[in-house]
Amino acid sequence: MHYGNLRDPNAEYTMRDLSSETMGLTADRGERRDVEITDVQTVIVDGNYPWTLVRVYTDAGPVGNGEAYWGGALPEIIERLTPFVVGENPLDIDRLYEHMVQKMSGEGSIAGKDIAAISGIELALHDVAGKILDVPAYQLLGGKYRDSVRTYCDCHTEDEADPEACADEAERVVEELGYDALKFDLDVPSGHEKDRANRHLRRPEIEHKAEIVRQVTERVGDRADAAFDCHWAFASGSAKRLARELEQYDVWWLEDPVPPENHDVQREVTQSTGTPIAAGENVYRTHGQRRLITEEGVDIVAPDCPKVGGMRETAKIATLADMFYLPVAMHNVSSPIGTMASAHVGAAIPNALAVEYHSYELGWWEDLVEEDDLIVDGYMDVPEEPGLGLTLDLDAVEAHLAEGQELFDAA
């Protein structure tokens, strides 16, 4: 039975055409649900981050590809999770997610590596469920708001503390690579530090950071939006002074100016300034993001899909954020698998601002999959193929395995 024409919004159907009897849907649906997970396997690829690729195998044939952020102990944790999903139905994504969280609760599965590991399986379940049901993963999340998702390019320079070098690189990334959205690090040494451990910013340090922001934003002008990342580096008062200093420039957002643990400080910093503040990559699940959103601790929510709990969890966070009229900019340092998972979420949520792309210097990011041109002029078209719409190039995966890793078995 073919469903393909049901995805054509311009096709016209009569009631008779759509009846389940005519389409044979009833019998087909039963067959499609009769499927079990048979195995879960992982490999770590040595990218510009360690990318933990996750495969979910089923007795129906299709294999799901996912990714968890990032390497370390993730394969061991995923191995411990595997018995909890083998024999289960891969179409019951939400139930399996809750099941895995519950099974790992004694180990502290409210955050951290446990949730990242669960995220990797959750992404692979979306891929395999899409393949079994013959729908793109975004369809499992409720359908599309947009065909193409904006990405922003995380930029680096050899001398990251040189404002002019940053502006030159911004110019290059906009003109040569075609991006209209960028991010630079702002927790870079200025040469004026006396003690970085106290998180205090001295006046010349603030002026140096403001100069990076001034040169980058003025150089790209209307051609691109520019965000700046502080990686949780500064004290409360210093973060406020920096954010206020940057109000005169056209900053897309200032990211993680203070450490992530104390929500009250995060909120105070955000509410003290007109500079948009983003945070969220270092808190987990909807529960972890809740106060950031409901107490207006951020202007922009920044969950990491292969880390925060997966695609549905990211969509749930986006739904909560949308109730507070907050946009979502997905943090991402993943291979094409995790990045495309974020793009499917970005297609399916109303309040998607952008997805990060963090591998422009690597040279072989896209080689890991058979598809080409995943990002064109800074935008990702979301595939209409089933699942995530990507095919792992296993030769390329093997060529870039991290030390000690072996390629997936053909389970």
Distance of CA 411 to the CA centre of its chain: 28
- The distance of closest approach from Cβ of residue 229 to Mg ion in the complex, given in angstroms and rounded to an integer, is 4
Query: Is 69 in contact with 304 (CB distance < 8 Å)?
Result: yes
H/E run at residue 353: strand 352-357
Looking at beta carbons only, is 302 or 348 nearer to Mg ion? 302
Looking at beta carbons only, is 113 or 307 nearer to Mg ion? 307
- The distance of closest approach from Cβ of residue 227 to Mg ion in the complex, given in angstroms and rounded to an integer, is 9
- The distance of closest approach from Cβ of residue 346 to Mg ion in the complex, given in angstroms and rounded to an integer, is 17
- The reply on whether position 169 binds Mg ion by CB under 5 A is no
- What single string gives the DSSP state of each residue in 191-202? S--S-GGG-PPP
Query: Is 85 in contact with 143 (CB distance < 8 Å)?
Result: no
- The reply on whether position 229 binds Mg ion by CB under 5 A is yes
Q: By CB under 5 A, what part of segment 233-292 binds Mg ion?
A: 255
- The distance of closest approach from Cβ of residue 260 to Mg ion in the complex, given in angstroms and rounded to an integer, is 10
Looking at beta carbons only, is 65 or 282 nearer to Mg ion? 282
Part in contact with Mg ion (CB under 5 A); list of ranges 59-67, 80-88, 159-167, 225-233:
225-233
Part in contact with Mg ion (CB under 5 A); list of ranges 104-112, 120-128, 222-230, 389-397:
222-230
Looking at beta carbons only, is 255 or 313 nearer to Mg ion? 255
- The reply on whether position 154 binds Mg ion by CB under 5 A is no
Q: Binding string to Mg ion for residues 308 to 347, with x set by CB under 5 A, is what?
A: ----------------------------------------
Listed in sequence order, the residues at least 6 apart from 258 whose beta carbon sits closer than 8 Å to its beta carbon are: 232, 234, 235, 236, 239, 265, 266, 269
- The distance of closest approach from Cβ of residue 256 to Mg ion in the complex, given in angstroms and rounded to an integer, is 5
Looking at beta carbons only, is 81 or 166 nearer to Mg ion? 166
Taking CB atoms, the residue at the shortest distance from Mg ion is 229
Looking at beta carbons only, is 57 or 232 nearer to Mg ion? 232
CA–CA separation, 86 vs 39, rounded Å?
A: 6
- The reply on whether position 122 binds Mg ion by CB under 5 A is no
Task: Write down how long the chain is.
Answer: 411
Torsion, CA 82, CA 83, CA 84, CA 89, rounded to 10: 80
CA–CA separation, 169 vs 179, rounded Å?
A: 12
- Angle, helix 336-348 to helix 311-323, in steps of 10 degrees: 40
- The reply on whether position 185 binds Mg ion by CB under 5 A is no
Residue 100 CA: distances (Å) to CA of 81, 82, 345, 406: 7, 9, 21, 25
Which residues of the chain form contacts with Mg ion (CB under 5 A)? 229, 255
